[in-house]
Amino acid sequence: MRKETPLSETFETWLEKNGINTDASRKCYLRGDPYPANSFSYFELAANFMINGEPAFAFTVLDDWYEEIISSTVNVSNRKSYWAKTYQFFLTKQAELMTSNQSPTIDPELLRDIRRKFAAEIKSKQSDRQTLAQLDGMNHLITLLGEDSFIKLAIESSYFFNAEIVKKRFEEIAEVFTTGGELPARKSSTPSIYSNVKIIEKKNGNSHVCSLIKKEFGYDLNQGVEKKPILNTIISHVWGKAVDPQYFTALWNIVLIPAWANHLMDKESAPEDSLASKLQSTIKAICLKLYNMQSFDWSKLPIGSCPQVAQAKDICHATYNIQVIQPSVPASGTKLGRITIKPITI
């Protein structure tokens, strides 16, 4: 008789505590999807790796499952939900799972073959796999706070900008595209597609952004740690595209993100329902509302229309107390603009 999938009872109990209330629904989550060309599921394979103390392999299996789901046309929405709950279970219960003392149900030689398969794919130039799933030291903080509280803390620890200055910078960039001139952008190997705009590049990727923030708000972020007025924050381009002069110094596209959360902003192709997608989508929604971006005349730029939130269902709807940096007023005796708190409900 086949052994019960390891961790299945633990998973079923966890599902019930996390809102999956009926036996039928829980069975759907427990069944999961079969791992290709084998008699076990992605869940069972990940569980075997996890109880064997190999979380990198466990999360690699779960990542492969997600890729299989999104490349399919069968029951994609429901399977994404099953995957998201399964991933959350492994993420939040990792330490407990690794010390569960449960026995594996998959032959050790099969596990060895799968390890070798992953290693061969990493070495192969024909494979998209570059590494095993990366273990993230932030996971324990996320587990402690919960996703919603983590996102709220990250956003309320960030710095946004005065809406009038944001609009002014939009008009300055639009004017250059109308009349011709120079605009900064992140260094790129791809030639500019704009015939009337010369792109200025510097080795320090964000030096132009730092200069703009210093000019408008008085905060010199291009200094060493001893003198920097705001520590442990990273300049983040919310919609990315820093190689494009429409986006690079556009203040509607820039937020100062706490360093401990910024890695989530770098995942431009973050999967739906992931923490990275939720944080990115929520910050984009805040920028759209805080700056009233829909009111800008986007026809003045090649972009042509207001940027949107691609994965709108991942927006975490709540009221956020946003820190907004105000313009510098040297006559007041300080070059640093005031920081005000503005509640934004999305």
Indicate the domain borders of the chain.
8-135, 152-345
Structure confidence at residue 276 (pLDDT): 92
pLDDT score of 204: 62
Q: Which residues contact 276 (CB under 8 A, 6 or more apart)?
A: 264, 265, 267, 270
pTM as predicted: 0.76
Instruction: Summarize pLDDT for 39-77 with one digit per residue, the tens.
Output: 899 999 999 999 999 999 999 999 999 999 999 988 998
Q: pLDDT > 70: what percent of the chain?
A: 97
pLDDT of residue 269: 73
User: What is d(CA 317, CA 324) in angstroms, rounded to the nearest whole number?
Assistant: 20
The per-residue pLDDT for 1 is 35
Amino acid at 18: N
Q: Give pLDDT tens digits for 232-246.
A: 999 999 999 999 999
DSSP characters over 197-241:
EEEE--SSTTHHHHHHHHHHH----SS-TTT-SS-SEEEEETT--
Question: What average pLDDT score do residues 293-314 get?
Answer: 96
* pLDDT of amino acid 38: 84
Please determine, for residue 35, whether its predicted confidence score (pLDDT) is greater than 80: yes
Question: What mean pLDDT is reported for the chain?
Answer: 91
Question: Would you state the pLDDT for residue 222?
Answer: 87
Chain segment 167-182, per-residue pLDDT in tens: 999 999 999 999 999 9
Most confident of 2-16, 51-65, 80-94: 51-65
Measuring CA to CA, how many Å separate 296 from each of 22, 170, 244, 284?
A: 49, 8, 18, 16
